Amino acid sequence: MELTREEESALKGEQGEIMQMAHRILVATGEATDAEKLIPIEWAHLSGVNYNTIGDAGEEFLSSISKDARVKVKTTLNPMGFDIDNVSNYDLDENFISKQLSIKNSYEAIGVTPSFSCIPYEIFDVPKENTQVAFAESNAAIHANSYDNLKTNKESAFSALASAITGKSPYSSLRKEDSPNLSIRMKVSNPTELTYGMLGFFAGKVGDTSVNISGLGEMDRRQCKAMCGGMGTSGTCAKFLFKEEESGIEKIDFNEKEMNNVFDELNTAEKGDIVTLGSPQLGLDEISDLTSKLKGRSFKKRCMVFTPRMVKEQAKKLGYTNELERAGCEILSDCCTCLTPLINKDNVDAVTTNSIKGAFYLKNSNGVDVNLKSLVEIVEDETR
């Protein structure tokens, strides 16, 4: 990799230990992904916030760098393990709470905006076309590359952190013009967000760094997010294109059969003890739509709704949170279905959700069974 004189000096330690470490991370990542140089980025979004995922080693690391490290560009943050407003309502152990708070404090000391959201593309202004960013959250990286006309690698927690501190990122293949070597033909009719989640999950498995998908039709925001979430969960593919006909590249179909295979892999229960909505977290559109779907109805069981704090505050002003709480929803900010310590197999056997991403992590990390249904089916079956 070619480095500028300034980058060489940082790598040698002439700009302090933190800059040296950050440059070591960028160089190692760049060499591993065949990047030829570092380029400036304007926005970093960090993962590695939930104590459930980064553990003691992560907590200690962040605490030690937080004394000196400061971000150089706008930097936003993924969800953590709980909603800071109602920690005491959940049976979380002291150690979890104190370690999670330490992680939160470290990121704030570094200068990160404590957004605790996995949908930065929906709650912050999206910069102009072709802006280089560094997003570590997989659904956000895919959304940025595929819908927002931004450019990002599918960053790791470490490369995104190093990018936040240096304002730079390796110029890897996803940042350049790329042409996918595979096209998936979407053949399932009347798709719901669940179908798009499964399509994303399928595409993530078969796709390389990017994939074309034809026959998508009009998709609403919920469906787009479901597809990005599904794709980010199953592989390393970090971009999809929507060209109708791609000649000269391999084509495969996504039909009922492929869809059912994904369904059977992730759906392990006939019904759930609780319902969760939001993975990725729900934006204001989805909260508004959910409110109107629940008019005059209420949940027969517990329903957890995950949404960013910024959205929750807007929803409050618009009267949506009152309505949702009336319908029996428990609205949670700062955290998400994925990897939440709020759901575990000691108190829950199975969860009903419309999220493929949520299903994957509930099953593999929380160890609970999952019952997959679209939102329309959830409202029909689980409310009265």
Partner 1 sequence: MKKILVHGKVNGIVLKSEIPINFLGTVDKKTGVISDKNHDLFEKSIANSVLVFPSGVGSSVGAYTIYSIKSNNSAPLAMICKKADLTVATGCALANIPLVLVSEEKFSSIKDKEKISLDTESKELLQ
The residues that touch partner 1, with contacts defined as CB under 8 A, are 11, 21, 24-25, 27-29, 31-33, 48, 53-58, 60-61, 156-159
Query: Which of 28, 252 has the CB closer to partner 1?
Result: 28
CB of 161 to partner 1, least distance (A): 9
- Integer Cα distance of 313 and 317 in angstroms: 7
Beta strands in 117-208 (DSSP E): 134-135, 168-170, 182-186
Give me the least distance between CB of 88 and partner 1, in Å please. 28
Tell me the CB-side half-sphere exposure of residue 144, using CA atoms within 13 A.
35
Give the residue with the Cβ less far from partner 1, 122 or 155: 155
**Dihedral (C-alpha) 229, 219, 351, 55: value to the nearest 10 degrees?**
20
For the bound state, the minimum distance from the C-beta of residue 208 to partner 1, rounded and expressed in Å, comes to: 16
- Contact between 173 and 152 (Cβ < 8 Å): no
Q: Which is nearer to partner 1, 12 or 326 (CB)?
A: 12
* Rounded Cα–Cα distance for residues 187 and 346 (Å): 40
The nearest distance, CB 25 to partner 1, in angstroms, is 4
Residue 236 is classified by DSSP as S
- Closest approach, Cβ 97 to partner 1, in A, equals 20
- In sequence order, what are the residues at sequence separation of 6 or more whose Cβ sits closer than 8 angstroms to the Cβ of residue 261? 202
**Which of 30/278 has CB closer to partner 1?**
30
Residue nearer to partner 1 on the CB measure, 12 or 300: 12
Reference 163, options 74, 270, 91, 101; nearest CA is 74
Closest contact distance (angstroms) between CB of 46 and partner 1 is 13
Of 53 and 131, which CB lies nearer to partner 1 in the complex structure?
A: 53
Distance between the two ends of the chain, CA-based, in angstroms?
Answer: 61
